[in-house]
Amino acid sequence: PAMWSSVFIIDPLYTVWLLMGCLVAWWARARPLAQRALVLGLILSSGYLGWSLLAKAQVDRAADEALARMGLADAPRFSVPMPFNTLLWRVVAMTPQGYVVGDRSLWADHGPMQFTGYPSNVQALRQAADIPAVARLSWFNHGFMRAQVQDGELVLSDLRMGLEPDYNFNFAVAVDQAGQWQALAPRQVAPAYRQAG
């Protein structure tokens, strides 16, 4: 699967121009105003997409510089806008021990980008790599996942959706039996914030 990640899955500033164009066109019906409203809505929403690509490039440049200083110039990474905007971004890069996460505001941040490191059970992930559910999840999320052992089960979290420590998509995929990982039927595990209440 491809991922450009220049706009959040729900971004009102992208949708509002299309919606307004459609509403004006519905109101104007067959008048020339209807076509102009639709074209203007499409131009404005496409302009916003163009802006989002420029914003992403600026964030990626700051992340590249910071990660190179950390010795992670070639680390797999991705950047995504935070919900409902293109001014605040999150960058995740994989490391040999886990991953690092950095946030960047195009409005407020002007210095070097800062990252915080988080562990992942990379050894368990390597040992379970041949389990079909692990391979499938790795393909689907391009390897951007956290591995944790919880109650003897290997739980994989998709790092692309959610924030540390509560990612939205967590799956128990294997169980430890005498030091060997055995496949489980993949089961979604609720994040801690959903289990608490």
Indicate if the pLDDT at residue 196 is higher than 60.
no
Verify that 77 and 48 share a domain, yes or no.
yes
Verify that 29 and 98 share a domain, yes or no.
yes
CA torsion through residues 113, 6, 190, 143, sign: negative
Burial class (CB in 10 A: 0-12, 13-18, 19+), 168: middle
**Is 114 part of any domain?**
no
Verify that 16 and 84 share a domain, yes or no.
yes
- Alpha-carbon distance 78 to 59, whole Å? 10
End of a domain among 105, 133, 165? 105
- Alpha-carbon distance 135 to 74, whole Å? 22
Verify that 179 and 130 share a domain, yes or no.
yes
Domain of 92? 12-105
Tell me: the pLDDT tens digits for 138-186?
A: 999 999 999 999 999 999 999 999 888 889 999 999 999 999 999 999 9
- Alpha-carbon distance 159 to 65, whole Å? 22
End of a domain among 105, 136, 153? 105
Angle, nearest 10°, between helix axes 32-69 and 12-28? 170
pLDDT of the residue at 1: 56
Number of independent structural domains in the chain: 2
Verify that 38 and 98 share a domain, yes or no.
yes
**Is 6 part of any domain?**
no
pLDDT of the residue at 194: 59
Cβ of 158: how many Cβ atoms within 10 Å? 18
Verify that 97 and 23 share a domain, yes or no.
yes
